[in-house]
């Protein structure tokens, strides 16, 4: 950030405004807002430079860091304090790992986008499986797909080899919808606040709650599997 600050005469073309950052990231993160960016700054995950007039300016490295934060938060439901601890360790030259063995996305490249045919090739799945997954609401009907869709379709292909079809997993969507309703109810006190960062705080809390639900779900499944052990 110090290099950017030294260059802040307001004319460095490498420095981006909040609007330009949103334009770069909104395709992959449509819920990203100026309030969310300010909230992440308040939580000390990002440190944009400032012009003499006080406007925030972001370097390309800032954008890569933001993309990383948002991807990990979205894909692994990690609380921001966990992500900040991970980034603090990286900044200090250490080699940290994320909880749960989560795969760490690169901060040097944005999420890849795949056409339908590319998705099928990458996941090793058939067009019929993708159609069945879409019908079961396990994947959206879209023109392009991200890495998360590849992981889901690849898992569905593996499950299919064990005789488990997307239609057998419809209950997962029902359960997810029920959990979202539960999370939304828990967010009501935060959502009612009028401060500029309330939406960002609500999203962060939602992901924290989702992460805790995932812990409980995983424990229940492991316990059930233990009972199956002869």
CA 151, 153, 156: angle at the middle one, nearest 5?
Answer: 110
Query: Do 223 and 188 sit in the same domain of this protein?
Result: yes
Quick: pLDDT tens for 119-143: 999 999 999 999 999 999 999 888 8
Contact criterion met (CB below 8 Å) for 78 and 98: yes
Q: What is the pTM of this model?
A: 0.53
CA 75, 79, 81: angle at the middle one, nearest 5?
Answer: 135
Residue 100 CA to residue 119 CA, distance in Å, equals 26
Residue range 67-92: mean pLDDT, rounded = 84
Top pLDDT among 223 and 127 is at: 127
- Lowest mean pLDDT, pick from 46-60, 71-85, 195-209: 195-209
Please provide the average confidence, as pLDDT, over all residues in the chain.
Answer: 81
Residue range 82-105: mean pLDDT, rounded = 76
Does pLDDT of 29 surpass 80?
yes
Structure tokens, 202: 């609500």
Contact criterion met (CB below 8 Å) for 46 and 200: no
Structure tokens, 21: 């950052």
pLDDT reported for residue 194: 63
Does pLDDT of 217 surpass 70?
yes
- As a whole-number percent, the residues of the chain with pLDDT over 70 amount to 83
Query: Do 124 and 54 sit in the same domain of this protein?
Result: no
Domain membership flag for residue 111: no
Please say whether the dihedral angle defined by the alpha carbons of residues 99, 202, 112 and 22, taken in this order, is positive or negative. Answer: negative
Query: Do 27 and 94 sit in the same domain of this protein?
Result: yes
Query: Do 152 and 175 sit in the same domain of this protein?
Result: no
DSSP string, 71-106: HHHHHH---HHHHHHHHHHHHTT-----GGGPPPPP
> Dmax of the chain from CA atoms?
71
Q: What is the number of structural domains in the chain?
A: 3
Domain membership flag for residue 36: yes
Contact criterion met (CB below 8 Å) for 113 and 143: no
Does pLDDT of 205 surpass 60?
yes
Query: Do 12 and 86 sit in the same domain of this protein?
Result: yes
Give strand pairing partners of 114. 145
**Can you tell me which residue has the tokens 């590319």?**
118
Q: Which of 101, 132, 152 is the last residue of a domain?
A: 101
Residue range 50-69: mean pLDDT, rounded = 88
Contact criterion met (CB below 8 Å) for 193 and 205: no
Does pLDDT of 7 surpass 50?
no
Residue 59 CA to residue 48 CA, distance in Å, equals 8
Burial 141-172 (b: 16+ CB within 10 A, else e): eeeebbbebbebbeebbeebeeeeebeebeee
Q: Which domain holds residue 143?
A: 116-164
pLDDT reported for residue 155: 93
pLDDT tier for residue 161 given thresholds of 50, 70 and 90: very high
Domain membership flag for residue 107: no
Query: Do 193 and 148 sit in the same domain of this protein?
Result: no
pLDDT reported for residue 10: 43
pLDDT reported for residue 121: 93
């Amino acid at each position: 950030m110090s290099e950017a600050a030294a260059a802040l005469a307001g004319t460095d073309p490498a420095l981006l405004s909040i609007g330009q950052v949103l334009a770069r990231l909104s395709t992959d993160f449509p819920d990203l807002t100026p309030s969310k960016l300010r909230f992440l700054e308040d939580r000390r995950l990002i440190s944009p430079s400032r012009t003499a007039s006080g406007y925030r300016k972001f370097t390309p490295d800032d954008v890569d860091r933001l993309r990383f934060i948002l991807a990990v938060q979205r894909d692994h439901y990690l609380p921001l304090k966990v992500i900040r601890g991970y980034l603090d360790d990286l900044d200090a030259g250490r080699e940290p790992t994320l909880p749960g063995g989560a795969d760490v996305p690169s901060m040097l490249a944005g999420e890849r986008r795949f056409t339908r045919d590319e998705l099928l090739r990458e996941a090793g799945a058939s067009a019929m499986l993708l159609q069945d997954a879409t019908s079961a609401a396990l994947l959206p009907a879209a023109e392009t797909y991200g890495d998360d869709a590849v992981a889901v379709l690849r898992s569905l292909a593996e499950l299919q080899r064990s005789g488990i079809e997307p239609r057998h997993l419809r209950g997962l969507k029902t359960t997810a919808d029920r959990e979202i309703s539960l999370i939304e109810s828990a967010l009501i006190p935060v959502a009612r606040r009028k401060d500029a960062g309330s939406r960002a705080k609500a999203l962060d809390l939602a992901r924290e709650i989702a992460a805790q639900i995932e812990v409980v779900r995983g424990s229940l499944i492991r316990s059930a599997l233990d009972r199956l052990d002869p």
